[in-house]
Structure 1
């Protein structure tokens, strides 16, 4: 974050680190599934961990958060090493799903909070929260050759949108930062967790029989 002079800025700073580390672990787990080497583990972890936040910062015209703070990349590499050492066959995919759900929920709040703190319109700030949550996972899945969650009709973007919207709404009503952050996080995580556990999906487009296909 740009400044650590206020309690909210300090909170965002540490939440950002936590979200980056969690998403980095999902990148390393994707590398583990395809039996990559330790260097690729680190690359997957770094690009997954900072990908969404990088896109957010570029779009809102903020300094890219990790460029002047290399500790973010260090956190990604530490996460990669931890997965390399401790990941066990058989639970990697489920671990990836659940860690991704935690990262999704955390980044929905962090991305929205940073955008709001820089004066971005609340509607756009919510979109930035969703983008921060989802973009790193998209890059991870493309690089790993995994089926992308966004294309499988799973409740994914919807969970990020819920968390970002709840956080922004509570903040606009004058709510305490931590209360808004916790409620927003659990709103996103609960919806995503239910989607994982009960295989919830949004209905797909049903094309009418009389329409012409092009």
Structure 2
């Protein structure tokens, strides 16, 4: 049944970071937004390129990946529902410092970086909200640098799984292989497998091929170093 008088959903209902957008500005911002879906493994942004689009994530997980001098990659941040990808564009950076890769299927809304920067000029509350978010991502990267130097693979893995469960919901399995997790952490696959076996022995997780289920979140948090709790 057609409803010609129905109004589109306000942008504040599309993503939590739009909650501060004034009512009179919502229609113009909504006109710049487009819904998107991407499959697992999709590359949203490549390091060293200027982000042309900013992605606001509604469902799914995205890993931010930095590269070493030899070309090897490791995770520098994790983005889930309520977050965004492309914060370098908000800071006026010419190029992104990290790539962004979908770890799961994704849904969300996207906007051209140029259009978003223009909207921020006219909306100080939104500018403060998104600038604060960008600062959180930078703080997360700094915390993960310290975490990687000081904590064991088991602690780091438990922290990552705890954060992923917080973003996706504890009842949703995390569909990643041991090798994919090892690549994120920049460690050997055997180190991830050993850590997961220890967690299984403590009944905090259950592992299947390419699938990790959280059985006891509190116990899992007990293994965690806690570096991601405030990210």
- Whether the TM-score (by the shorter chain) exceeds 0.5 is no
Structure number with larger C-alpha Rg = 2
Scaled by the length of structure 1, the TM-score of the pair is 0.32
> Which structure dedicates a bigger proportion of its chain to helix?
1
**TM-score with structure 2 length normalisation?**
0.30
